[in-house]
């Protein structure tokens, strides 16, 4: 079973746009405010080496994929962080959505 989580910041316009797009495509996800889930958000930021939001986490069994926004081109593209962890950096939310759609099972 896949679990889709979206880490976001309340004051982030890009995060709102991203969640609105996911909602319009009827993608079910757990929304996690990074400020209210600070330990988890800090762990994800440290693992990815980025602090840009939104960050999507797709978990399936022992496999985890992170899809995140990077606004300056650093940490861009797909990279394997561990045997069961993949990170995908995108320049905009439309690319994030495309990656999410390609990975989720409907």
Determine the CATH number of domain 2-103. 3.40.30.10
Give the whole-angstrom CA distance, residue 26 versus residue 24: 5
Res 74: pLDDT: 74
CA 7 to chain centre: 7
Strands 63-69 vs 85-90: parallel, antiparallel or unpaired: parallel
Each residue's pLDDT tens digit, 47-59: 999 888 999 999 9
pLDDT at 8: 97
In which residue ranges of the chain is pLDDT below 70? Answer: 106
Output the pLDDT for position 1.
77
Cβ(79)–Cβ(86) under 8 Å?
Answer: yes
Annotated domain spans of the chain: 2-103
Q: What is the pLDDT of residue 102?
A: 93
pLDDT at 73: 72
| In contact, 4 and 58? CB cutoff 8 Å | yes
Q: How many CA atoms does the CB half-sphere of 72 hold within 13 Å?
A: 4
């Amino acid at each position: 079973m896949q679990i889709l989580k979206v880490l976001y910041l309340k004051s982030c316009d890009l995060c709102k746009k991203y969640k609105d797009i996911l909602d319009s495509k009827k993608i079910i996800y757990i929304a996690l405010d990074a400020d209210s889930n600070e330990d988890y958000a800090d762990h994800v930021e440290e693992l990815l080496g980025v602090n840009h939001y939104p960050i999507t986490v797709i978990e399936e069994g022992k496999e985890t994929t992170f899809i995140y926004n990077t606004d300056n081109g650093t940490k861009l593209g797909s990279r394997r962080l561990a045997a069961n962890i993949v990170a995908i950096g995108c320049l905009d939310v439309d690319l994030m959505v495309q990656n999410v759609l390609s990975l989720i099972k409907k």
